[in-house]
């Protein structure tokens, strides 16, 4: 038979309706012909690019042409050349003298090695991530977002985008500086370019427009331009190195007129000595001077003093191009191979070139020359135009690489809809695979950054932006490694968790070394973006697989193994709730109430689908699971969900009681809705209900936003189970060693009215067994469990503000001293740290009916038996009197906790047992009937 819904009886009893009870909910092609379910089909079979290899190459016959048409760049043109050019950038020809002159050879080489070590650890992380799957466009953003999730990836992507924008402006500023020094009013080669702040801005704008035009043509033109420029830069670099050896004699190199030391009467020169041990000795140790590019006019005293942080910032900002190849991942033929090889070889090549230049500079040039003429290489070059060409080509190519990289990052952010409508218009303008809108926005922002001015001022922001991006890349790799996910098996194996940690520590420390204030601002901006994206981003629709889930799973599994149930102690007892729910539409208040009652313990929503698993190809329980998760999201409760299939509700209950939870985290208390004839109330559709789903949108990470996964789609039928089966289930729970709670009238609960009430309300506890009052013990296990649950509820902040606890003691004239009994109970409550008001309630007029009509309510065959059972002494008058007593005391009661007697063993008494419980609780406020079998509190420390 197919899975069917069940409830108590044809009247849609509360057990299957209002409180949810235990009953269950409602219940092609070639693969289908073979009897294969949808879940058996590998996810790759449903993807458009099935045969895309891990390297990013599309090898399927149907899509290879389209895939390769957008991927035209190889290892050299796509990664090695852009990385090398970005690493050379403005530092190669414009700032070697600045770095060596201020830091000295040892500190300069140490700083370079430190910077490249930080970069190396980051490169290892990049290589690991990029060889673990197909890499699409967006470079670092793509890798981080697909690893750490859209919130963190989107925030880092935005910062990395601005890092590339600032970096492009940085290199354009370096290009302008080289142009003015060579062709300005006192240039080395000519004197036709006017000098000044706005003229420099105009020249920078011209370079930016040139870059824009190249980017608009597309990636193929960028690749051709990059390879040509790389060849030119290599020739110019080789000429500089050769010049040190050829001109091994003393040369007086003039100080540029842009230096305030030069005026109408003073024209100082710096000395190039050629290879000299004396010069090398003088240049070994640090000695900091003023940066003449920061002076206010001709006032040398206004120049900014150089510090290690400033120098390292300039040095590091010049070697932050390791992502240039990764940013072009969408245009690479084989990103999984090209990115690791190109990035590693590019970093190694540039590192060796810098070391050589640092040594040659320190061994041949006096410090005065180095700190007062940043382009001193012009004065010693075999052919001066080589330096000019080198400066222009290196800086232009680096700025071009950054602007095209920033446009690809922005295009990826727009494609993923990370910032919604804020960036929607950018994605509307594109030509083929070239994101024209993103290119235009990137160029416009570069133009704005150029207004900042000097090279060294921009360098600080650029360095910190890149460092923060590199920090996130290492964090992503560390998370993947720590998660120990079987699918994280990159082909690049030369990394470890400690390389990622060292990369994170290095990047984080260097941010604050360069500028603590700017670093703090950037981190705050990052956190704000993460929070905003978490709360508002439309990217929640994308399920890329957040690393946080994998890390949490790994850690939870580890600590669950350490959680040993054999070491449980009553001092640390907490409620572990399993609430059996049939119809969530009518059980919303009870689900919410149990969430308050759990007090940081385990909370599981259990549901039974009645049917035969063998009747279908798929598991009917798993089909409803997303809907139950959507329900948990909608009700905002901290609960797990367990759905099972059984031939009966009772069998399903056995499954859930036994297997719910994991390890030592297993339910110790089972909650059932009550079995009566109260019609169910639909809280999903009621306009006045706080649980109305009219505006609900599924936001669960495990469910889609389709209406089929909305909690309102959880339907149940009116078929039910019998009262006898219900009582047997109560007995089963106790026999399985669990505490039991029966919940009634929770459809009446209005939690909002309780927490906003202006008068004090009460949580009432009646720790007396009304079925056997003579044997009732207020210090017994069930009575203490009653008070423990009531106390836990009162500890919840929303309940504590508006309610207080009352414990009722029923006294009669037969009791020797009621006040002494009250004192004894008060002492016990004090020892148990339970704050409650003790109420003495006389009930002589009720107990006199205790033994009347002893056989009333029994079946004829039961009356014929000699022993008519333990419930025979409970008359209807007595039950009615008990009910009236409780109702009389419940005028301002929010919730009532009652002692639940253990069900009788004899099946023919089950209907009578349920009838008596119904009679006692008729007309009450929301009521919880409790029976405990284990100790839950202690007076010992």
pLDDT band at 458 (very low <50, low <70, confident <90, very high): low
Q: Return all residues near 838 (Cβ < 8 A) that are at least 6 apart.
A: 806, 807, 809, 822, 825, 826, 829
- Best-predicted range by mean pLDDT among 251-260, 274-283, 700-709? 274-283
pLDDT band of residue 677 (cuts 50, 70, 90) is confident
Q: Which residues pair with 899 in a beta bridge?
A: 930
Of the candidates 901, 925, 926, 924, the residue with the CA atom closest to the CA atom of residue 912: 901
According to the per-residue pLDDT averaged within each range, which of 20-34, 360-374, 707-721 is highest? 360-374
Asked if residue 227 has pLDDT above 90, the reply is no
644 vs 225, which has greater pLDDT? 644
Instruction: Specify whether the backbone of 798 is left (phi greater than 0), alpha (psi in -120 to 50) or beta.
Output: alpha
CB 807 within 8 A of CB 784: no
Tell me what the mean pLDDT of segment 360-377 comes to: 91
pLDDT at 553 over 70: yes
Residue 852 has a pLDDT of 57
Residues 108-131: pLDDT tens digits?
999 999 889 988 999 999 888 888
107 pLDDT more than 60? yes
**In contact, 590 and 614? CB cutoff 8 Å:** no
Q: What size, in residues, is the chain?
A: 941
Q: For 684-819, where are the E strands, in sequence order?
A: 739-744, 761-766, 803-811
Domain locations along the chain: 1-25+568-748, 78-541, 750-941
Q: What is the pLDDT of residue 446?
A: 92
Residue 302's pLDDT is 74
Single pTM value for the model: 0.70
> Band of the pLDDT at 881, cuts 50, 70, 90?
very high
Tokens of 300: 């040398």
For residue 729, what pLDDT is reported? 95
Query: Does 33 score more than 80 pLDDT?
Result: no
C-alpha–C-alpha distance, residues 158 and 152, integer Å: 10
Q: In DSSP terms, which residues pair with 580 in a beta bridge?
A: 606
- Interval 841-866 mean pLDDT: 62
pLDDT digits (tens, 9 = 90+) for 422-436: 777 776 676 777 888
- How many whole angstroms separate alpha carbon 204 and alpha carbon 210? 10
**How sure is the predictor about 15, in pLDDT bands with cuts at 50, 70 and 90?**
very low
Residue 101's CB: how many other CB atoms inside 10 A?
31
Inform me whether the pLDDT recorded for 45 exceeds 70: no
**Can you tell me the mean pLDDT for 290-319?**
80
What's the pLDDT band for 37 if we cut at 50, 70, 90? Answer: low
Q: Whose CA is closest to 650, among 718, 591, 730, 581?
A: 730
CATH of 750-941, one of 3.30.465.10, 3.40.50.620, 2.40.50.140, 3.40.630.10: 3.40.50.620
Residue pLDDT, tens place only, 855-877: 444 444 444 443 445 677 788 89
Residue-level pLDDT at 538: 61
Range of weakest confidence among 461-465, 597-601, 705-709: 705-709
Q: Which CATH entry fits the domain spanning 78-541: 1.20.1740.10, 1.10.287.470, 3.40.50.2300, 1.10.510.10?
A: 1.20.1740.10
Cβ atoms within 10 Å, residue 386: 22
3-state class percentages of the chain: helix first, strand second, coil last, to nearest 5: 55, 10, 35
CA distance 380 to 388: 13
pLDDT averaged over every residue in the chain: 81
Long-range CB contacts for residues 500-504, cutoff 8 Å, separation at least 24: 500/121, 500/124, 500/125, 500/474, 500/475, 501/474, 502/121, 503/118, 503/121, 503/122, 503/124, 503/125, 503/470, 503/471, 503/473, 503/474, 504/471, 504/474, 504/475, 504/478
CA atoms of 705 and 99, how far apart (whole Å): 56
705 falls in which pLDDT band (50, 70, 90)?
very low
Rounded distance between C-alpha atoms, residue 813 and residue 792, angstroms: 34
Q: What is the pLDDT of residue 31?
A: 45
CA dist., res. 70 & res. 769, Å (int): 78
The pLDDT value given to residue 453: 63
Q: What is the pLDDT of residue 491?
A: 85
Residue 52 reports pLDDT greater than 60: no
Structure tokens at 605: 């929503």
């Amino acid at each position: 038979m197919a899975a069917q819904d069940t409830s108590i009886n044809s009247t849609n009893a509360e057990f299957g309706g209002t409180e949810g009870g235990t009953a269950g909910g409602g219940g092609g092609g070639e693969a289908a012909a073979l009897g294969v379910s949808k879940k058996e089909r590998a996810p790759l079979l449903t993807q458009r690019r099935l045969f895309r290899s891990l390297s990013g190459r599309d090898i399927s016959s149907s899509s290879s042409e389209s895939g390769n048409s957008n991927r035209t760049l190889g290892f050299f043109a796509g990664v090695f050349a852009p990385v090398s050019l970005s690493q050379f950038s403005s530092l190669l020809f414009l700032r070697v003298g600045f770095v060596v002159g201020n830091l000295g050879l040892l500190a300069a080489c140490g700083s370079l090695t430190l910077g490249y070590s930080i970069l190396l650890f980051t490169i290892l992380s990049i290589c690991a991530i990029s060889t673990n799957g197909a890499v699409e466009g967006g470079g670092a953003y793509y890798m981080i977002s697909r690893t750490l999730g859209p919130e963190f990836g989107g925030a880092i992507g935005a910062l990395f985008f601005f890092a590339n924008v600032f970096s492009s402006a940085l290199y354009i500023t370096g290009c302008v500086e080289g142009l003015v020094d060579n062709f300005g009013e006192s240039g080395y080669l000519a004197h036709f370019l006017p000098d000044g702040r706005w003229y420099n801005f105009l020249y920078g704008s011209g370079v930016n427009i040139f870059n824009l035009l190249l980017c608009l043509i597309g990636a193929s033109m960028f690749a051709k331009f990059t390879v040509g420029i790389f060849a030119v830069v290599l020739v110019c670099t080789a000429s500089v190195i050769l010049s040190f050896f050829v001109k091994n004699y003393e040369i007086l190199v003039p100080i540029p007129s842009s230096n305030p030391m030069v005026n109408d009467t003073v024209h100082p020169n710096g000395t190039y000595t050629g290879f000299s041990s004396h010069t090398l000795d003088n240049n070994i140790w640090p000695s900091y001077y003023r940066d003449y590019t920061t002076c206010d006019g001709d006032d040398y005293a206004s120049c900014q003093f150089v510090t290690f942080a400033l120098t390292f910032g300039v040095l590091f900002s010049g070697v932050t191009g390791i992502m240039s190849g990764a940013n072009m991942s969408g245009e690479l033929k084989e990103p999984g191979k090209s990115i690791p090889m190109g990035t590693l070889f590019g970093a190694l090549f540039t590192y060796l070139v810098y070391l050589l230049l640092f040594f040659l500079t320190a061994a041949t040039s006096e410090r005065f020359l180095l700190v007062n003429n940043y382009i001193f290489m012009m004065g010693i070059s075999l052919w001066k135009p080589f330096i000019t060409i080198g400066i222009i080509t290196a800086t232009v190519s680096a700025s071009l690489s950054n602007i095209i990289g920033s446009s690809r990052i922005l295009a990826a952010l727009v494609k993923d809809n990370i910032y919604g409508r804020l960036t929607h218009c950018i994605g509307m303008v594109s030509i083929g695979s070239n994101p024209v809108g993103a290119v235009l926005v990137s160029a416009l922002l570069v133009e704005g950054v150029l207004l900042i001015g000097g090279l060294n001022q921009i360098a600080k922001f650029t360095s910190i932006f890149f460092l923060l991006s590199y920090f996130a890349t290492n964090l992503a790799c560390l998370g993947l490694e720590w998660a120990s996910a079987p699918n994280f098996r990159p082909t690049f194996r030369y990394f470890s968790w400690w390389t990622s940690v060292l990369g994170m520590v290095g990047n984080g420390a260097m941010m604050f070394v360069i500028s603590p204030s700017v670093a703090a601002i950037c981190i705050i901006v990052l956190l704000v973006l993460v929070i905003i994206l978490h709360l508002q981003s439309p990217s929640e629709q994308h399920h890329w697989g957040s690393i946080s889930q994998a890390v949490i799973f790994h850690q939870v599994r580890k600590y669950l193994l350490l959680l040993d149930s054999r070491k449980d102690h009553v001092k640390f007892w907490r409620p572990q709730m399993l609430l059996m729910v049939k119809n969530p539409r009518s059980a919303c208040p009870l689900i919410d109430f149990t969430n308050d009652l759990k007090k940081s313990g385990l909370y599981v929503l259990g549901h039974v689908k009645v049917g035969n698993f063998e009747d279908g190809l798929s598991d009917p329980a798993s089909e409803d699971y997303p809907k139950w998760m959507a329900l948990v999201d909608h009700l905002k409760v901290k609960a797990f969900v367990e759905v099972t299939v059984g031939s009966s509700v009772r069998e399903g209950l056995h499954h859930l009681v036994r297997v719910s939870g994991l390890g030592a985290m297993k339910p110790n208390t089972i909650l059932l809705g009550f079995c009566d004839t109260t019609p169910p109330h639909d809280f999903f559709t009621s306009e006045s209900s706080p649980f109305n789903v009219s505006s609900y949108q599924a936001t669960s990470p495990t469910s889609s936003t389709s209406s089929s996964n909305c909690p309102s789609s959880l339907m149940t039928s009116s078929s039910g189970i019998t009262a006898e089966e219900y009582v047997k289930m109560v007995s089963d729970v106790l026999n399985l060693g669990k505490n039991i709670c029966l919940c009634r009238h929770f459809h009446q609960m209005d939690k909002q009215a309780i927490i906003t009430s202006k008068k004090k309300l009460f949580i009432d506890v009646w720790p007396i067994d009304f079925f056997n009052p003579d044997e009732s013990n207020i210090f017994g296990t069930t009575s203490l469990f009653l008070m423990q649950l009531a106390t836990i509820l009162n500890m919840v902040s929303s309940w504590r503000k508006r309610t207080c606890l009352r414990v009722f003691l029923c006294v009669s004239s037969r009791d020797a001293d009621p006040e002494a009994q009250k004192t004894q109970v008060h002492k016990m409550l004090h020892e148990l740290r339970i704050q409650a008001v003790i109420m003495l309630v006389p009930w002589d007029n009720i107990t006199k009916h205790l033994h009347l009509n002893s056989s009333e309510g029994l079946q004829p065959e039961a009356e014929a038996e000699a022993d008519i059972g333990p419930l025979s002494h409970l008359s209807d008058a007595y039950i009615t009197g008990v009910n009236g007593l409780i109702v009389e005391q419940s005028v301002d009661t929010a919730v009532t906790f009652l002692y639940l007697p253990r069900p009788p063993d004899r099946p023919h008494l089950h209907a009578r047992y349920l009838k008596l419980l119904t009679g006692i609780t008729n007309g009450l406020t929301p009521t919880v009937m409790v029976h405990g079998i284990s100790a839950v509190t202690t007076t010992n420390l």
